[in-house]
Amino acid sequence: MKTRFTMNHSHMMRGICLPVTAAAMLLAGCAANSPPPLYQWTGYQPAVCDYLKGEKAPQEQIDALEKALQEIRGKGHTPPPGFHAQLGMLYASVGNDTQAMQEFEAEKQMFPESSTYMDFLMKKKPKQP
């Protein structure tokens, strides 16, 4: 014989389970349709690591970033913030000031919040050998 408490508890549990199950199903559906990442990081993080360690020559780093940039654009993605700035600093380090300025300008166009820093880098005098 069920007591009144058992019956009320049973109805209460069913009343809680339905919304919880519906919420779980909704969240599962959202996870399957999550948007793609905003930026493609291909090759960027290892290149920065190489730069900081100084284990690879600047031209090797430039080549790696240029290849990564082609892959990113080939897939229709966008490089992350700092990508063009890093590439610009590398170009500046090998004396290719024209390409460095183009990369700094690309960084400014893609990420206007970087303008102050890019302007600072663009005003620096190239080091004379």
Phi/psi for 88 (5° steps) reads -65, -40
Instruction: Mark whether 18 and 76 lie in a shared domain.
Output: no
Higher model confidence: residue 33 or residue 2? 33
Token code pair at residue 12: 């209460």
**CB-CB neighbours of 43 under 10 Å:** 20
| 10 has pLDDT over 70 | no
- CB within 8 Å of 63: residues ≥ 6 apart: none
- Whether 9 is in a domain gets the answer yes
Lowest mean pLDDT among 20-29, 55-64, 72-81: 20-29
Contacts with 39 (C-beta within 8 Å, 6 or more apart), sequence order: 77, 78, 79, 80, 81
Number of domains in the chain: 2
State whether 27 and 63 are in the same domain.
Answer: no
Q: Which structural domain range is residue 48 located in?
A: 44-123
